[in-house]
Amino acid sequence: MRHKAFANDPSYEDINPEQTSNWLQWLRRRRIDSALNRVPSDFYSRIWRLLRRYEGLIIGGQVLHRNLTQEMTTNEYKFALTVESVLNKIPDPEYRQLIVEVMMVLILLNESHTNLSLGTGFVNADSVVIRANEIFLIDQKVLKGDALSCCCGEGKKGSCGGAYGICRHFYDSAPSGRYGTITYICRGLVALIPQLREEIECSVV
């Protein structure tokens, strides 16, 4: 099942399950996409519009403040460079790409639900990734998944050495699908901001 906010967005098409069969394929793909600064269509102008609704976005411990939208226009190249600079301060490309996925979820929620309020303060993308990973590990334990050999095994939390303490199996998950990273990011948002439960259609909540 696709998330309602993503239904009409070409940036996140459904993934062919056959593409996810190779171990580390998605981890490698995230590293490559991030190293090449690949982002979805109109990403920076959409970040600009998102930023107008909040005090700021916390990304990799860095803060993008709302006042940037007063200093720069939506399509201004300088704004895109500012956002890119903040993202590039994250040393691990796979984590950086998960942050981009969080940003896209927030962007699409903002575009699909114009009256939706997450409050007017700071939105912490790092907290969303951390919570999404925690929910992923809970599922892995229940389903006896691959992460039992590392991060959700008894006394093994973080043992796989994934960047920022995020399980390598989470990094290696496809974005879409019942157990994809986008689903877990949505669930992470719902866990952190319960009022989103009615607005996000996740395949598992």
Nearest Cα to Cα of residue 12 among 159, 192, 199, 183: 183
* Residue 118: per-residue pLDDT: 63
What whole-number distance in Å separates Cα of residue 193 and Cα of residue 200? 11
Q: What is the 3-state secondary structure (H, E, C) of 121-177?
A: CEEEHHHHHHHHHHHHHHHHHHHCCHHHHCCCCCCCCCCCCCHHHCCHHHHCCCCCC
Question: Is the dihedral angle over the CA atoms 191, 192, 195, 201 positive or is it negative?
Answer: negative
* Residue 87: per-residue pLDDT: 96
The residues near 148 (Cβ < 8 Å, ≥ 6 apart) are 140, 141
pLDDT band at 3 (very low <50, low <70, confident <90, very high): very low
Nearest Cα to Cα of residue 166 among 82, 95, 113, 110: 95
- Cβ–Cβ under 8 Å, residues 190 and 118: no
Instruction: Tell me the C-alpha to C-alpha distance, in Å, between residue 62 and each of 28, 83, 107, 121.
Output: 25, 10, 19, 15
Measured from the Cβ of residue 41, the count of other Cβ atoms closer than 10 Å reads: 9
Question: Is the dihedral angle over the CA atoms 179, 181, 187, 188 positive or is it negative?
Answer: positive
What are the residue ranges spanned by the domains of the chain?
20-198
**Residues 4-63 pLDDT 10s:** 444 444 444 443 444 444 668 999 999 999 999 999 889 999 999 999 988 899 999 999
Confidence (pTM): 0.82
The whole-chain average pLDDT of the chain stands at: 83
**Residues 75-87 pLDDT 10s:** 999 999 999 999 9
- Cβ–Cβ under 8 Å, residues 24 and 172: yes
Nearest Cα to Cα of residue 165 among 184, 137, 139, 142: 137
Instruction: Summarize the confidence of residues 133-148 as an average pLDDT.
Output: 92
